[in-house]
Structure 1
Amino acid sequence: MPLTAYQLRFCPARYIHESHLPAVLLRLLPALPDWRRQSVLNAWLLEQLELDCAFRMPAQLGGLALYPQAALERTLGWLGALLHGQALRQVLDGARVRRIRAQIGEQGQRFCLEQLDLLIGRWPPGWQRALPENPEEGYFRRCGLAFWLAACSDADCGFSRRLRLRLRLEAMPAPADWTFDEQRRSLARTLCLKVARQASDECFHLLN
């Protein structure tokens, strides 16, 4: 089920990845089987994580934050992988191919290889990134999120933090930030929307 705008703003227990939970709450989880639906925990998490509730949802692309978890991860994973599409085409080693598929699935890999030259035509300089030798779990999702937030341009901290809280906390540094001029930002938005349509068409209405 998608999140509602109210749940995104005021109910972090509904969507926060467990890796972001304060240690004291992690220890109590075995005794709290229904913790994601407890309103008292929502209020506590808002305070503990210092989450600003007065943020503004970015136009159109902001709807990604309401996606069900599986659709969110698939969309960001495919987008992040597509930003490495040229490098993915050079991967021939079976073990590396399997590790990539473990993150984005066989369908996601096929999407990147087949759609790389079709979605936006010629790629702007710097948009295609080098592929790490052994990208850690969640790498493509985090790359996709960094690009998506940059395409939003007007994402408040309260909004962007909530999106990051939905993904596993990683020890590795975050991907480099993206910067766009207005022409490139329009192209970036187009790319995000085209990937979202392909990756999670059933949720695409949330971006309208």
Structure 2
Amino acid sequence: MPSYYDIDDILMEEEPLSVVFQVGANAVGLLDPSSETNSVDKGAKVDLPFWLAHELYLRQAVSISVPACFSQRTRKEIQADAACVDLSFRCPYFYELGCKIVPLVGDKTIGSFVHYTFTSRYKEILSKSHSTHVSTGPKFLNRFTKEERQLFDAARSSMVAFKKWREGGSRLERASVLGRKRKTTIPLPPSATP
């Protein structure tokens, strides 16, 4: 479920999808730039943002085509060498869009393709985050999707924190509760009062 205030969710929902209208629609001619009238004819191909395409799909007004970032050409490139493919150019929200598009298109292999892509690139992302210098990072960061950049940043900050700890950062500290001295009280025997 998208977060209302998350800018990445908002931007992902703006990714354009190619749809084919299954019904004619009046007073929406601005959706089809090639339309000379104020309506969209049945069978017209139009590019719409994901949020609108999804809503129209739920109303059975459009069918959604597989986005170009999940084409056979992209699949072959990723199978050849996943780490070298510029996914950010194809779709900055590749993984999230892939997960959301699976139930909407006829190609059910997109889910396994997205999984394969992530597992293929995961090791490379972590390796680069732990071994590259800060100044060399931007050279390959441009190929990462938004999700991969977040993973890269999290791995890099984790490694920095680990190095700081290993080099003598704060070790175990004594709890403040242990610093206080307790008063020991010896229980008095019950007094024998007549």
TM-score (norm 1): 0.22
User: Which structure has the highest helix share of the two?
Assistant: 1
User: Which structure has the highest strand share of the two?
Assistant: 2
TM-score (norm 2): 0.23
Q: Which protein has greater RCO, CA pairs closer than 8 Å, 6+ apart?
A: 1
